[in-house]
Amino acid sequence: MPLPLLITMGDAVGIGPEIVLRAFRQGAAAGCVVVGDPAVLQRAACLLDPLGVPLALVDSPQALCDVPPGALPLLRPGGLPAGLAELPWGQVDARCGAAAAACIRAAVARVRAGQAAGLVTAPIHKEALAAAGEPFPGHTEMLQALAAQGAGEPPPVRMMLANEELRVVLVTIHVALRRAIELVTREAVLQTLRVVHAAVPAWAGGAPRIAVAGLNPHAGEGGLFGDEERAIIAPAIADARAEGIDAAGPFPPDTVFMRARRRAGYAEPFDVVVAMTHDHGLIPVKYLGIEQGVNITLGLPFVRSSPDHGTAFDIAGRGVADAASLVAAIAAARGMAGGSPAPSPQPSPAGRERV
């Protein structure tokens, strides 16, 4: 029997538990084990069905084969705060942050022990995580630290968001914009290009063709609007090309994404875009459709994906959350764990061409 995927429940009072149950009810989570609090999952199940969904507690992912048909396989980690299912929906609570962290740690430990094929994480709330005393601003940083335990230095990791039309990798992520600009260094850009080059070939059908976005308007316009492109980004691209990495740019960040967007009848020149800051890169991906977006962490020693959205506190507890992005994330993790391409469109009929 193939190793299962693990799905963490996310923030207990957000939409994470609900979309996990929806994915299970749709059959998209077959072969997965949920890591979470039984009462929280049962409360979420009652949003979809007054009778709820039968839960089957397991003590290891391998016990999935013993779960009765129609039951949700659930692994309860240690360290969960009491009373999570009694908390009001859609409100930041340190107990939810602590529970989310406990689920992530337990899931990573199982994956690293070879008991599961990969990890899919439902959304957590960064403010709740901080309120719980966790030193990580989000999933990516926490997973990077957990990957380093017992292995020395944390591996270089990068966030990639992908949907059926576009893949984007970020140089900087969850920091203030002023700080992000300081973090755009020659080494950070080069390291990002190395991570993409190493992680993406299986999905690109060969060495990925990487478009690098500039930082400033018009990519600096020859230094008129900033010199980061000339002093930092272009030298990093040259370094990467000297290592055999197929990178080009820097291109104006307001138009480069159109050149990597895959559409029928269009020969896209790039497989992925590297963007300097969080919002530069994520706005175009999310505009194309959050419901199909997938967040993938490149550079980890294990598979990890997640939906391309947050906890949606404004609709939590109403039973209206859409599980499409989580379903896409599960499919992405399956593909990566099995060596198949991650979610991405087929090449257009016009074929592929380089520039």
- Between the alpha carbon of residue 240 and those of residues 47, 60, 135, 243, the distances in Å are 51, 43, 32, 5
Among 246, 270, 288, which residue terminates a domain?
288
Residue 308 lies in a domain: no
Same domain? For 126 and 77 the reply is yes
- Partner residues linked to 248 by β-bridges: 211
- Rounded distance, CA 138 to CA 204, Å? 28
Helix, strand or coil, per DSSP, at residue 348: coil
Does some domain include residue 133?
yes
Based on the domain organization, do 80 and 103 belong to the same domain?
yes
One domain for residues 185 and 59: no
Q: What would the DSSP string read from start to end of 159-186?
A: EEEE-SS-EEEES--SS-HHHHHHH--H
DSSP state of 217: G
List of the chain residues with pLDDT < 70 = 1, 51, 150-151, 201-205, 264-267, 290-291, 339-355
Cα 70 to Cα 35: distance, rounded to the nearest angstrom: 17
Residue 301 placed within a domain: no
Number of domains in the chain: 2
Domain, as residue range, for 204: 164-288
Are the C-beta atoms of 203 and 211 separated by less than 8 Å? no
Residues 6 or more apart in contact with residue 33 via CB below 8 angstroms: 4, 5, 6, 7, 58, 61, 64, 73, 74, 75, 116
Our measurement of the distance from residue 2's CA atom to the centroid of its chain's CA atoms, rounded to an integer in Å, reads 23
Residue 182 lies in a domain: yes
Domain stops at, among 288, 312, 338: 288
Angle at 63 between CA 337 and CA 36, to 5 degrees: 75
User: For residue 2, what is the DSSP state?
Assistant: P
- Asked if residue 294 is part of any domain, the answer here is no
Question: Residues near 300 by Cβ (< 8 Å), separated by ≥ 6?
Answer: 143, 144, 147, 155, 157
The pLDDT value given to residue 337 = 84
CATH number at residue 18: 3.40.718.10
351 domain-assigned: no
pLDDT computed for residue 53 by the predictor? 80
195 and 251 fall within a common domain: yes
Query: Are 331 and 344 within 8 A, CB to CB?
Result: no
β strands within 113-246, DSSP E: 118-121, 158-162, 167-170, 210-213
Same domain, 58 and 102: yes
Question: What's the sign of the alpha-carbon dihedral 156, 308, 4, 44?
Answer: positive
pLDDT at residue number 347: 34
The DSSP bridge pattern shows strands 167-170 and 158-162 to be antiparallel
The pTM assigned to this predicted structure is 0.85
> 280 and 332: one domain?
no
Shared domain check, 90 and 32: yes
Helix-helix angle 139-148:94-112, to 10 degrees: 40
- Considering the domain architecture, whether residues 71 and 106 belong to the same structural domain is answered as yes
Tell me the β-bridge partners of 160. Answer: 169, 296
Q: Is residue 304 part of a domain?
A: no
Question: Mind giving me the DSSP string for 43-95?
Answer: HHHHHH-TT---EEE-SSGGGGGGSPTTPEEEE--TTPPTTGGGSPTT---HH
Q: Are residues 147 and 177 in the same domain?
A: no
98, with CB counted inside 10 A (0-12, 13-18, 19+), is buried
> Is position 293 within any domain?
no
Do residues 201 and 240 share a domain?
Answer: yes
C-alpha 208: how far from chain center = 19
Residues 51, 134 within the same domain = yes
Reported as half-sphere exposure (CB side, CA atoms, 13 A), residue 249 has a value of 40
Give the model confidence (pLDDT) of 61-109 as tens digits.
Answer: 888 888 888 889 999 999 999 999 999 999 999 999 999 999 999 999 9
First and final C-alpha spacing in the chain: 45
Verify that 239 and 215 share a domain, yes or no: yes
Give residue-wise pLDDT tens across range 317-353.
999 999 999 999 999 999 888 744 444 433 333 333 3
